[in-house]
């Protein structure tokens, strides 16, 4: 399988649940990203990993916890979320130094917090 794959595609969770989002890329990229997309708002950068090291945490609440075990996999662990956290969570990858190729995004996980 090529490109960036995100699972699950849809997730409904209660405010006291713990769940994880998974992202996998087979492009040989070394940078991976989590973005949050809410209706009529710009994509919000959450976390950046470069060669498995976190290089950016954009003031994200601690109820979101990222994990990058290797350059191909990225997780977002969720716990005690709020209804306003409901959004589309997008994973992306890129190759550092090749900005002209942009980011490759997954199809996202549609998260609903009830």
Partner 1 sequence: QKEVEQDPGPLSVPEGAIVSLNCTYSNSAFQYFMWYRQYSRKGPELLMYTYSSGNKEDGRFTAQVDKSSKYISLFIRDSQPSDSATYLCASSTGGFKTIFGAGTRLFVKA
Binding residues for partner 1 (CB under 8 A): 4, 31, 33, 40-43, 45, 48, 50, 55-56, 90, 92, 96, 99-108
Contacts 24+ apart (CB under 8 A), 60-66: 66/34
Nearer to partner 1 among residue 37 and residue 80 (C-beta) = 37
Residue 108 DSSP class: -
Nearer to partner 1 among residue 78 and residue 92 (C-beta) = 92
Q: How far is Cα 112 from Cα 103, in angstroms, rounded to an integer?
A: 25
- The answer to whether 3 and 25 are in contact (CB under 8 A) is yes
Nearer to partner 1 among residue 16 and residue 59 (C-beta) = 59
- Rounded to a whole number of angstroms, the minimum distance from the CB of residue 7 to partner 1 is 13
For the purposes of burial, counting CB atoms within 10 Å of the CB of 2, is it exposed (0-12), middle (13-18) or buried (19 or more)?
exposed
- Rounded to a whole number of angstroms, the minimum distance from the CB of residue 98 to partner 1 is 10
- Rounded to a whole number of angstroms, the minimum distance from the CB of residue 95 to partner 1 is 12
């Amino acid at each position: 399988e090529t490109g960036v794959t995100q699972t699950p595609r849809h997730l409904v969770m209660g405010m006291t649940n713990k769940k994880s989002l998974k992202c996998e890329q087979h492009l040989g990229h070394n940078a991976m990203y989590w973005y949050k997309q809410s209706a009529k708002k710009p994509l919000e950068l959450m976390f950046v990993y470069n060669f498995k090291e976190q290089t950016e945490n954009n003031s994200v609440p601690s109820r979101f916890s990222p994990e990058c075990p290797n350059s191909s996999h990225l997780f977002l662990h969720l716990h005690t979320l709020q209804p306003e956290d409901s959004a589309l969570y997008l994973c992306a990858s890129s190759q550092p130094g090749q900005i002209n190729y942009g980011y490759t995004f997954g199809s996202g996980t549609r998260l609903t917090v009830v």
